[in-house]
């Protein structure tokens, strides 16, 4: 009798659950998805999804459909957020629903599923992010200032020595800072195997996760189809080649640190600190593997974003000499010409701060952010955002909203200043380039510090101008930006010179501090 009663209660509970689920599904079925281009039969919006500078297309869609958009590729839902308000409402205020990452089969096929930037929200992600956070929380960043200063001064000297190679020097700066902090490795030039590996990995991973690049990302079952089946060899071959590069990217700098630690000839770094702690507490091989993977992600994530931002800064200064002169005048007035800027000068330089903020607004390094995924059906403003949808925060659209930033395509730092010359309320908006909610960039404090010091140091000592041709005519700086997750200007020409003999001498004297 007791078993029969329990069975009846079970049936009643099951029936109630089915009824509630049925009611919920019927209620959601009557709700529309956010607006967007009309999908085609079976393929959805496959032909509508842009490959070239997609954030620009999504911004134009926003003018037609609104601040939240919907598209579909086969059965996969894509939601694009084009306004700060919607992004905060969903990614910040409902972070428990929007903190996951989309499942991208190519990541595991390529051997890159250790990247906690793309990792699903859960215990493993928390473990990796916690290890990273210990070394890049706000309170830890002052420890990295000497390295950042040293590498930025290296950049200044290289720019004086071979200004025509400024694009290479920018990449060396980004690589040098993050390699020294992560591995204690001194990068002299970009002809460095560790640097080349990380750059190759970034390019391959970006290509592998690009929407529409590989059918397996839309049809995960294809991963189980042998490579010899027609149409399936391409992604298998690409993934195999990428796995080889990623394996070396993981092992080579890790082995370098371990060997130097055994020999007692190492420079303290993030990885060496982690390994010392693991050894002290009798850690395992599994913990060392986590440390290896966290270190690899640290370098890969920090390299391209810094390069992209500094490269865009050179474009902005070459095209806006009036902005450059105004920033230099502030530096000369506050700091003088007898020394280079230091971190402590930042609060005293509001116009330089405005230049920094405008740079991030004008050319955000990650224009579409890193995609989020929805863990359960959600309702917003009368629209259904279905479980499993991939959500992009269109940072470009937010930072080029004409109602907030008139003449948004122009580089106008004054938009971040109040009439009395102090920073205004718009300043915090540009920090949205680091992401939203629980998936905000954990390395933002280090990136913010390094980028600001690089900008103010270059302004203090150097002039950036448009290059001239053989006839003495200026060559307009109007580069093309790349389409990848991290967007940066392709190589372009400009002129870089010391502002004065005094500035050149200051730069030369930094060599004595290295």
- Residues annotated within the binding site for heme are 441
Q: How distant is the alpha carbon of residue 151 from its chain centre? A: 21
CA atoms within 13 A on the CB side of 208: 28
- Nearest CA to 364 out of 487, 481, 206 is that of 487
Alpha-carbon distance of 126 to 129, in angstroms, equals 5
Q: Is 351 left (phi over 0), alpha (psi -120 to 50) or beta?
A: alpha
Q: Name the CA dihedral angle for 176, 177, 181, 185, rounded to a multiple of 10 degrees.
A: 10
Q: Which residues does the annotation place in the binding site?
A: 441
In degrees, rounded to 5, the angle at the alpha carbon of residue 298 between the alpha carbons of residues 296 and 299 is 70
Q: Name the CA dihedral angle for 157, 152, 413, 142, rounded to a multiple of 10 degrees.
A: -160
**Around Cβ 163, how many Cβ atoms within 10 Å?**
17
Which residues lie below 8 Å from residue 44, measured CB to CB, with a gap of 6+?
71, 72, 73, 74, 75, 76
Alpha-carbon distance of 275 to 179, in angstroms, equals 16
Which residues lie below 8 Å from residue 407, measured CB to CB, with a gap of 6+?
none
Alpha-carbon distance of 379 to 389, in angstroms, equals 13
Which residues lie below 8 Å from residue 362, measured CB to CB, with a gap of 6+?
312, 316, 399, 411
β pairing state of 76-81 and 378-380 = unpaired
């Amino acid at each position: 009798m007791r078993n029969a009663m329990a069975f009846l209660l079970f049936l009643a509970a099951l029936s109630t659950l089915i009824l509630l689920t049925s009611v919920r599904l019927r209620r959601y079925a009557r709700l529309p998805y956010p607006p967007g281009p009309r999908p085609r039969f079976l393929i959805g919006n496959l032909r509508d999804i842009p490959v070239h500078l997609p954030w620009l297309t999504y911004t134009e869609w926003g003018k037609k459909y609104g601040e939240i958009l919907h598209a579909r590729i086969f059965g996969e839902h894509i939601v694009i957020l084009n306004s700060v308000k919607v992004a905060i409402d969903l990614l910040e205020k409902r972070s428990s629903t929007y903190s996951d990452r989309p499942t991208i089969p190519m990541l595991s096929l390529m051997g890159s599923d250790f990247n906690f930037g793309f990792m699903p929200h859960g215990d493993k992600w928390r473990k990796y992010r916690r290890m990273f956070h210990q070394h890049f929380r706000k309170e830890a960043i002052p420890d990295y200032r000497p390295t950042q200063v040293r590498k930025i001064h290296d950049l200044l000297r290289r720019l004086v020595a071979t200004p025509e190679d400024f694009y290479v020097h920018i990449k060396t700066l980004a690589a040098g800072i993050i390699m020294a902090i992560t591995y204690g490795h001194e990068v002299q030039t970009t002809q460095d195997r560790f640097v080349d590996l990380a750059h190759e990995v970034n390019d391959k991973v970006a290509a592998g996760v690009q929407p529409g690049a590989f059918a397996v990302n839309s049809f995960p079952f294809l991963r189980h189809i042998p490579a010899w089946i027609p149409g399936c060899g391409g992604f298998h071959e690409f993934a195999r080649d990428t796995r080889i590069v990623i394996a070396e990217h993981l092992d080579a700098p890790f082995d370098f640190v371990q060997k130097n630690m055994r020999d007692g000839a190492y420079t303290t770094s993030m990885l060496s600190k982690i390994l010392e702690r693991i050894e002290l507490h009798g850690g395992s091989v599994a913990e060392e593997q986590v440390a290896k993977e966290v270190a690899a992600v640290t370098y890969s994530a920090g390299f391209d974003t810094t390069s992209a931002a500094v490269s865009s800064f050179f474009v902005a200064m070459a095209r806006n000499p009036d902005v450059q002169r105004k920033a230099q005048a502030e530096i000369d007035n506050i700091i003088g010409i007898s020394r280079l800027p230091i971190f402590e000068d930042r609060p005293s330089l509001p116009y330089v701060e405005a230049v920094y903020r405008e740079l991030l607004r004008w050319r955000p390094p990650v224009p579409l952010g890193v995609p989020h995924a929805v863990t359960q059906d959600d309702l917003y403003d009368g629209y259904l955002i279905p479980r499993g949808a991939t959500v992009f925060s269109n940072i470009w659209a937010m930072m080029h909203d004409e109602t907030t930033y008139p003449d948004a395509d122009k580089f106008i730092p004054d938009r971040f200043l109040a009439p009395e010359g102090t920073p205004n309320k718009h300043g915090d908006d540009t920090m949205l380039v680091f992401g939203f909610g629980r998936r905000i960039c954990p390395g933002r404090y280090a990136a913010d510090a390094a980028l600001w010091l690089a900008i103010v140091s270059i302004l203090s000592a150097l002039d950036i101008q448009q290059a001239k041709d053989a006839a003495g005519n200026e060559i307009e700086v109007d580069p093309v930006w790349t389409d990848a997750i991290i967007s940066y200007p392709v190589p372009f020409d400009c002129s870089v010179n010391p502002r004065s003999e005094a500035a050149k001498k200051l730069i030369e004297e930094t060599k004595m501090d290295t």
